[in-house]
Each structure stands twice: as C-alpha cells, then as structure tokens.
A and B are shown apart, each in its own frame.
Chain A
Amino acid sequence: MSPAGTADEQLIKALFDDHAGPLYGYVLRLTGDTGRAEDVVQETLLRAWRHPDALAGKPIRAWLFTVARNLVFDQHRARRSRPQETGDEALAVMPADDELERAVESWAVAEAIAALRPEHREVLVHVYYQGRSVRETSDALGIPAGTVKSRTYYALRALKLALEERGLAP
C-alpha cells in the first residue's frame, strides 16, 4: 500500500468517523430513505475528500450539511423530471442560513449525546427523552434509584464537556 493511498484512506476514515453520524442523521431526516441517505452521505464526504481546498478555513460541518442538503434538493428537482446538476463550486458557496445553523447545532447535540458512555446515555434516554422519573427509570433499568441519580448527574457533566468540545456552550 502506497503512503499516498494510506493518507487518502486515513483522510476518508477521519471524515467518516468525525462527520458521518450527524450527517447521516440529518440526511435521513431530509430524505426519509436510508438508501438515498447513504448515497448522499457518500457523495458529500467524497466531495470533501476531493476538495480539501474548498474546506480550508470553513467550518467543515456546515459545509458538509450544505452540500448534503443541496444534493438532496437536487435529487428532488431531478425527480420532478427537471434534471439539473449542481457543480461543486455552486454547492460550496451557498451560505449557511438559520435553518442550516440550527440543523448543525441539533446534530452536534445528538453527536454529543452519542459520545456519552452507554450507561450515561441510557439514563438520559429514560429521564430526558422518555420523561421518566428517577423511580420509573430505576424500575425500568433494574438499578437502584441512587445509581440513576448519580448517573444522570455525571451524564449531564459529561454532556456539558462534549457540547463545549463541539463549540456549543450551554
């Protein structure tokens, strides 16, 4: 394996590891179709890999979300029998609007939650997403109420750090 090939593979893996999760979640919401979402994520990361210049000095997550969204919308247009290709340049210059900013932010939060240790994520799911009380969570998970409380506490502290790492100060 050549060094350049390895470097390319490392770049691709890094792009995938760093961004594929939130990007996939975002695109899946837009398309509602896992197959199409996979295709769009693939194409988006491919463009990032091929155009490191376009990414220099830009917030990469916003760039990726912009490219992905436009790919999805291009497909919508194409499906309405108006084939239209958007070049890489056009894709990259579109500024991030409020909606996109919010999307980038929510998926960063999802990513931060995903980065938590499993037992922390688990109590968050119960206490936050399912709105359960400590006692209900304790019953559901079969762990003492004290453990639910301490895990919730440490989950929030860890989440605060994870959010700050992603530039989201609560």
Chain B
Amino acid sequence: MMTCEEVRLSLGAHAFGALEPDEAVLVEAHLAECVACAAEFDELSAVSGLLGRVGHVSESDVAQVVSPPVVVLDRLLKVSAARRRRSRLLLALAASVVLLAGGGAAWGVLSGSGGEDASIAAEQYAASSPAPVVSGDGPASGAAEDSAVLGKESAKPETGPGAEGAEEPSVTAQVPAASSPPQTARDGGDVRVLESASPRESVMKAAPDVVMSGVEGKVTATVRAAARATGADLTVTVSGADLGAVYRLDVVGADGTREKAGTLEVASAADAVFRATTTMPLTTVVRFELQGDGDVVIRIPVKSR
C-alpha cells in the first residue's frame, strides 16, 4: 500500500503516462480511494493535457524561446541611440536659439575672448530681429527620412525631445519642427552666424569672425572662428563641463571630410577657453564636433550665408 506522500510525487510522471506499469497500477488503486490525491492528479493532468492540446511546440521551439537572437536587441538599441542623437541635435539647435534670443547678455558670457565684437553683433542682431526664437509650431513638413520615428515626436512632444528637459535645463523653447529633418531645422531654425557688423571690422578688412554654439546636456560649447589664408583659427569655449573632461575637436566639411583640430582638456571649473586651428576653409565647414568620453558629442552646426 502506497502512502499519499509516495503517490503525490509519482503523480506528475503518471500524468504523462511515464510510470512503469506495475507502479501505475498501484497509483491508480490509491487514486480510487483517496479524494485529495485524485484532485491533485486532476490538476496535473489538466496541465499535461494543455501541453498536448496546444500542440506542435517542439523541443527546439522551446529552445528558441529561451534564447531569442540577441542581435535583434543590439540592432534595436542602435536605432534608439540614433534617434536620441537626432533629438539631441534638435535640442542643441533649439538651445542655441534661446541663447541668441537672450541677446547681448548671453553672448557676453558665451563668446569668450572675442566677446566684445560678438556682443555688439548680437545686440544689433537682436535689435534688428526682435523675434529670432523659433516657435514650437514650426512647419510639420513630412520628412521622408524616418517619418515614423519623427512623427511620434511630433504627435507627442512631451515624450520627445522636450522630455529631456531635466537634463537640458537651458532649453526653454519648444524644439522647432520636430518632424523636420536636421537640415531643415538648421535652415529655418537659427543657429545664426553672427558676423560683426562693426564698421571698425570692415575698415580693418579682416574676414569677419563666425560664432556658433552647441549644447549637450549641461555642457555648452561655443566656437569662434576667424578665417585665415588657409583654414581658420578657432577659439573654443566650453562651459559646464566636468573638471578633467577631455574633448576632441573635429571639423566636418560639407563633403563629409573630417579633420581633427585639437584636443581639449577642461582644467578649470570656470569656462575653459582653447585655441585650435583647422586647415579647412571656413566656407566648406558645416559643423564642429566636440567628442567627449563615451558617445558624448556636442555638435556645433555652422550656418553659412
């Protein structure tokens, strides 16, 4: 005579009909007399029965379910990262617009060594164009490029770039035309090249300096470029960066060429100012990039006239 405990542990195998015939007979005899064990057996049989009923899930199927292809996850994360980079570019543009709207005060802080001329220019610019801020309701032009992703941002701005406000406190303007590709945003969206309109400069016949900036997280970078016979002299101001942070300054041309213009190490908690040179003519430069640790990139687009 089997005890309930002995029978219980055999019930699973019995539900699959896997017991040896002699033991199966003993178990059946017990089940005929024991209501509790019979109820337990019914429950287990329902489970094994379901396995048979849904059918056609093989051993190898189960193996695939256990280990789905990780390559898919990697690819998905890359897509996500690419979208994030696009969002950041738009944010940087929007942030630049805000800075410009701030006029002379903002430029006085940001423009570093050549601040005076830039301040003048900015004030003049601000005076002549009182509303450079791009409003949030920019044209929702259907960008063919990745319209699905951008469309989501357009439809739900609170989940789009705006949601990154926590890390991008300087962004107070709605990101302009989130559904536009970066190129369009740049054209309509005002990273203006401020050229000094000071008469003094034109008398000097020096090529006007070009000032532009970009924001990534809490870090703001401004590049002031002065054209030279070959290439340009660059003054880079980085603010908000961690002490000891290292950036590599790249100059990117319209045809995709990329030139490393220098390496910057932030050695001061205050605004750090660096000088660098590039052999690339300013007219062909589309943007500067400051590449920090990891995948941190501060893009500083240039708008040529």
Contacts and interface: CB of A to CB of B under 8 A. Distances in A.
> Do the two chains belong together in a single complex?
yes
Interface of A: 1-5, 8-9, 12-13, 16, 20-25, 28-29, 34, 37-38, 41-42, 45-47, 49-51, 53, 88, 102, 105-107, 109-111, 113-114, 121, 125, 127-130, 132-135, 137, 146, 148-157, 159-160, 163, 168, 170
B15 A24 contact: no
Interface string B116-146: 0000000000000000000000000000000
Interface in B47-95: 47-51, 54-59, 61-62, 64-69, 71-73, 75-77, 79-81, 83-84, 87-88
16 contacts: A2-B167, A3-B164, A5-B81, A16-B76, A28-B64, A45-B72, A102-B54, A110-B61, A127-B18, A129-B59, A146-B9, A155-B12, A156-B12, A156-B44, A159-B47, A170-B50
B20 interface: yes
Contacts, number: 172
A45 B148 contact: no
Contact of B73 (A20, A105, A135, A163): A20
Given A5-B81, A38-B69, A106 B8 contact: no
Contacts of B56: 106
Contact of B58 (A37, A42, A129, A148): A129
A29 B72 CA distance: 17
A51 B44 CA distance: 40
Given A1-B294, A24-B65, A129-B58, 10 more contacts: A4-B163, A5-B80, A9-B77, A12-B80, A25-B65, A42-B72, A49-B80, A121-B62, A125-B59, A156-B47
B242 interface: no
A133 B18 contact: yes
Contacts of B159: 4
Interface in B147-195: 148-149, 152, 156, 159, 161, 163-164, 166-168
A2 B71 CA distance: 23
Contact of B62 (A38, A49, A110): A110
A137 B20 CA distance: 12
A3 B73 CA distance: 19
Contacts of B87: 4
Contact of B75 (A21, A37, A42): A42
Nearest to B87: A4
In terms of DSSP, what is the predominant structure of the interface of chain A? helix
B18 A137 contact: yes
Contact of B68 (A20, A47, A88): A20
A120 B152 CA distance: 44
Nearest to A45: B76
A152 B13 contact: yes
Interface residues of B, number: 59
Interface of B: 8-13, 15-16, 18-20, 43-44, 46-51, 54-59, 61-62, 64-69, 71-73, 75-77, 79-81, 83-84, 87-88, 148-149, 152, 156, 159, 161, 163-164, 166-168, 217, 294
A21 B156 CA distance: 30
A154 B12 contact: yes
A22 B77 CA distance: 20
Contacts of A154: 12
A160 B79 contact: no
B48 A128 contact: yes
Contact of B65 (A4, A21, A41, A50): A21
A103 B198 CA distance: 73
A153 B163 contact: no
A154 B40 CA distance: 12
Nearest to B52: A128
B222 to A, nearest CB: 21
A20 B164 CA distance: 28
B149 A50 contact: yes
B12 A152 contact: yes
Given A149-B13, A153-B9, A170 B19 contact: no
Nearest to B83: A8
A102 B48 CA distance: 17
Contacts of A168: 50
Contact of A153 (B13, B59, B80, B167): B13
Given A2-B88, A134-B20, A107 B65 contact: yes
